[in-house]
Amino acid sequence: MAVVSTKGRYALRVMVDMAEHRRDGYIPLKEIAERQGISEKYLESILKTLVRARLLTGLRGKGGGYKLTREPSGYTVGEILRLTEDSLAPVACLEEGAAVCPRAGECRTLKLWKGLNDVLTGYLDSVTVADLMAPAQTGDNYVI
């Protein structure tokens, strides 16, 4: 089963943080690192990935930092995780670029895994950074 790595989880946190502070202009790496409790060195590698994919833009020097290239509603969780994860596929045979499995024609579980993959991908692509910015509901966590 696909497991989201620390890099993927941090990338989502960073994108939400930047969305919440987007009115501040370019945000220095140091500020993001402090707010999120992520080492600057590790955060820098995540930000490079996001800049390379044009999800963020960066500016060097005094007054520099990073900012979003779109509105928060224009980024999906699926898009961000596909950049940071090797694969989100639930089984190896469904990973992008995987060789055709020699058992695919007789595999009784392939339909199950394809369905799970479709549900997972569909869900992650339906949630935006703007959705993640919504405050968490409090008081609704009791059990009867």
Residue 120, CA atoms < 13 Å, CB-side half-sphere: 18
Residue 105 lies in a domain: yes
Residue 109 lies in a domain: yes
**pLDDT given at position 1:** 56
65-68 and 56-59: which strand pairing? antiparallel
Residue 10 lies in a domain: yes
CA 69 from centre of chain: 15
Residue 62 lies in a domain: yes
The band of 3, judged by pLDDT with boundaries at 50, 70 and 90, is confident
Spatial contact of 93 and 68, defined as CB atoms under 8 Å apart: no
Q: Two tokens at 104?
A: 């695919």
> For position 63, which CATH number holds?
1.10.10.10
Q: 62-120 pLDDT, tens per residue?
A: 888 999 999 999 999 999 999 999 889 999 889 888 888 888 889 999 999 999 999 99
Residue 83 lies in a domain: yes
Residue 143 lies in a domain: no
User: Cβ of 47: how many Cβ atoms within 10 Å?
Assistant: 22
Write the DSSP string, 66-92: EEESS-GGG-BHHHHHHHH-S---SSG
Q: Is 37 left (phi over 0), alpha (psi -120 to 50) or beta?
A: left
**pLDDT given at position 123:** 96
Residue 140 lies in a domain: no
Report how many domains make up the chain.
1
The band of 132, judged by pLDDT with boundaries at 50, 70 and 90, is very high
Spatial contact of 79 and 93, defined as CB atoms under 8 Å apart: no
The pTM assigned to this predicted structure is: 0.86
Q: Is 97 helix (H, G, I), strand (E, B) or coil?
A: coil
Q: 14-69 pLDDT, tens per residue?
A: 999 999 999 989 999 999 999 999 999 999 999 999 999 999 999 998 888 999 99
Domain holding 16, by residue range, is 6-133
Q: 5-15 pLDDT, tens per residue?
A: 999 999 999 99
